[in-house]
Amino acid sequence: MKTYFLLFLSVICFTACSSDNDDSPMDTTDDDVMESTYSGTFVSVAHPTEGTAFVNEDKTTLKLSNFKSDDGPLLELYLTTDETAKEFITLGGLKGLDGNYEYTLPENVDLSIYKYVMVWCVDFDVNFGHAILKMD
């Protein structure tokens, strides 16, 4: 009985210490490299604005990280082609003035054209601050 117990214990120890994966490095090719994303750092224009904007790999979500801005009467988050916001896509009202926030991006938005993420005061047509999205 003692012999079977020791044999059982030995088998448990050896199988518990084994690994299903080998320690060889994974083969990586250019196809395995993750798709680049877009990101940019906010700069103040009419009001103090700071934080980082970045787009997920699928280009479906824009995230604001460590975001801060002044309050205003009607603030929206825009994607624009330049600092004047003559051509823009609204992502909706600003979700907050201090924190991390997510916005859904429209399908097939061309971030090489709509590359400015802008806090826009609608009532006064003022750019509070913006980030320029660049491919990482």
Dist CA 58 CA 40 (whole Å): 17
The predicted pLDDT at position 48 comes to 97
Is pTM, for the whole model, over 0.75?
Answer: no
- pLDDT tens, position by position, 78-103: 999 999 999 999 999 999 999 999 99
